Amino acid sequence: MSWVPVDGYTFIDLGCGKGRMLLMAAELGFRNIVGVEFSPHLARIARNNLASMGVDAGVVTGDAAEFAFPDDPMIVFMYNPFGALVMGKVMAKLAVHQHPVFVVYVNPKHESTFPASFIRIARFQDWAVWRKDAIAP
Ligand SMILES: C[S@@+](CC[C@H](N)C(=O)[O-])C[C@H]1O[C@@H](n2cnc3c(N)ncnc32)[C@H](O)[C@@H]1O
């Protein structure tokens, strides 16, 4: 993912499933990695997968719309995990995040919910990347 920064950024997978992208994030060099997963069953599998690979990452069981984002610059990854309603809530929260945010969205069906502060910086066949700058204090 050469078009997003790694150093100093927290990687978050909203709808992390069994933790596939969390493992990849560790390989890419992210040091702070968090998954959010609605299904307790999948969240448990993700924790087991991370532990078996020796990857230090947190998995939060819950709804991404209710997730309290860390006070960090972030890469937010989403593999088309939810519909427009949840996406709208998530993006509204990210729009007021104080730090820079990059959104990597695979199969971006609900990009119309993205606030104008998110600028698309790359588009590929079935995924794209958006960036929002820090908000001045
Ligand atoms: C297509 S899978 C992607 C899994 C993983 N990110 C990957 O790339 O392999 C989408 C996941 O989002 C989860 N999900 C759906 N709605 C959610 C919500 N509101 N909050 C958190 N996770 C959700 C589903 O349970 C599912 O595991």
Question: What are 57-115's pLDDT values in tens digits?
Answer: 999 999 999 999 999 999 999 999 999 999 999 999 999 999 999 999 999 999 999 99
For the CA of 64, the closest atom of ligand 1 is 20
DSSP string over 97-133 = -SS-EEEEEES-TTGGGS-TTPEEEEE-SSEEEEEEP
pLDDT, residue 28, reads 96
Task: Tell me if 4 is assigned to some domain.
Answer: no
Q: How far is the CA of 62 from the centre of ligand 1 (A)?
A: 10
**What's the total number of domains in the chain?**
1
- pLDDT greater than 90 at residue 137: no
- Between strands 10-14 and 32-37, the pairing is parallel
Please report, for the domain that includes residue 72, its CATH number. Answer: 3.40.50.150
Query: In this predicted structure, what is the pLDDT of residue 136?
Result: 83
- This model's pTM is above 0.85: yes
For the record, the structure tokens of 38 come out as: 């609605």
Domain of residue 61: give its range. 10-132
Q: Is residue 3 part of a domain?
A: no
Q: At 1, is the pLDDT very low, low, confident or very high (cuts 50, 70, 90)?
A: low
Residue 13 host element (H or E): strand 10-14
Q: Are 67 and 43 in contact (CB under 8 A)?
A: no
Examine residue 106 and state whether it is found in any structural domain, yes or no: yes
Q: What is the DSSP letter of 35?
A: E
Classify residue 33: in a domain, yes or no. Answer: yes
> Which of 33, 59, 78, 82 gets mutated to test ligand 1 (max ligand atoms within 8 A of its CB)?
82
Rg (CA), the chain: 14
Q: What DSSP state is assigned to residue 57?
A: -
Distance between CA atoms of residues 50 and 83, nearest Å: 27
Least confident span in 2-6, 10-14, 18-22, 102-106:
2-6
Separation of CA 137 and ligand 1 centre (Å) = 33
